[in-house]
Amino acid sequence: MKKEKIYKITTESFQPFGKVIEFPKSKKNQKRNNLFHIVLTEKKATGWRIAYLIIRDKQIKVLEHHPMSFESFEPLYGETLLYVCKRTDFSDIKCFLLDKPVILNKGLWHGVTAQSYESAVKISENAKVRCVYKELDFYLPR
């Protein structure tokens, strides 16, 4: 049996076959805290998109939810805390160490913080997402 050459995956080497899920180096040095980059958007059929989120925030003042979209959070590196709750008074907030990929139910309030200097997650969601934001009267973590 012939031994195949093993190639290193880079943006250029893999381009004929698909996309590398990574954050563009040209955007990574921006001064903002969290950085969000959509990697791919599929507009046919029901439509979906894949994004890469770099998390640098250590506190959350605003939670969000998407009434009509499931959303996946897939850890890539670093330590991420995922805050979730079902109620709009946020009395049922739970915090999870995001150490496994998860899919959030539609309409679930959520937010993320980095435990390490920064962390990153891959996000998949509907191509057109309605975001609803609600400011907290406290910061997470408390």
| Range 46-52 average pLDDT | 85
Looking at CATH, the fold of the domain delimited by 18-23+31-140 is given as: Jelly Rolls (2.60.120)
Quote the mean pLDDT of the chain: 86
Using alpha carbons, list the distances in angstroms from residue 33 to 14, 55, 140. 30, 7, 16
Global pTM reads 0.78
Q: What stretch of H or E contains 13?
A: helix 11-14
Q: Where are the domains of the chain?
A: 18-23+31-140
Instruction: Map tokens 């004929």 to a residue.
Output: 16
- Each residue of 21-47: pLDDT tens digit? 788 877 766 677 888 888 877 666 577
Using alpha carbons, list the distances in angstroms from residue 125 to 38, 76, 89. 10, 17, 25
| Range 8-12 average pLDDT | 83
